[in-house]
């Protein structure tokens, strides 16, 4: 969840933290990201990209927090990106 003090309203403000984790995220979101890293072989950079896309999707839907459905959609886009690049 974003705090009023940070005034951060865009995905670029998601700073990767050492040890992983998404600030204010539900446990389901964390599990989904871990599964994506393990099953799809995402790198740390890929993880961060999925997280940023999920934040953008959450913003577009008007959600204050990233929900599992946002992460799932972002993971799908990541898969499409990999297929397109060959």
- Per-residue pLDDT tens digits for 43-61: 889 899 999 999 999 999 9
2 occurs within a structural domain: no
Query: Does residue 26 register a pLDDT over 60?
Result: yes
62 occurs within a structural domain: yes
Closest CA to 57 of 76, 42, 41, 38: 76
What is the pLDDT at residue 1? 46
What is the pLDDT at residue 20? 53
Residue 53's contacts (CB-CB under 8 Å, 6 or more residues apart) are 11, 73, 74, 77, 78
What is the pLDDT at residue 22? 66
Domain residues for 58?
25-85
Q: How many domains does one find in the chain?
A: 1
Which stretch of DSSP H or E encloses residue 49?
helix 44-61
Query: Does residue 24 register a pLDDT over 80?
Result: no
10 occurs within a structural domain: no
56 occurs within a structural domain: yes
Q: What is the value of pTM for the model shown?
A: 0.70
14 occurs within a structural domain: no
- What gap in Å lies between CA 80 and CA 57, rounded to an integer? 16
Q: Does residue 51 sit in helix, strand or coil?
A: helix
């Amino acid at each position: 969840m974003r705090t009023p003090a940070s005034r951060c309203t865009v995905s670029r403000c998601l700073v990767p933290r050492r040890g992983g984790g998404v600030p204010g995220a539900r446990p389901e979101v964390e599990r989904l990201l871990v599964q994506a890293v393990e099953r799809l072989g995402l790198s740390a950079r890929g993880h961060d990209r999925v997280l940023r896309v999920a934040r953008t999707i959450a913003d577009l839907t008007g959600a204050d927090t990233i929900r599992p459905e946002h992460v799932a959609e972002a993971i799908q886009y990541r898969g499409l990106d990999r297929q397109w690049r060959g």
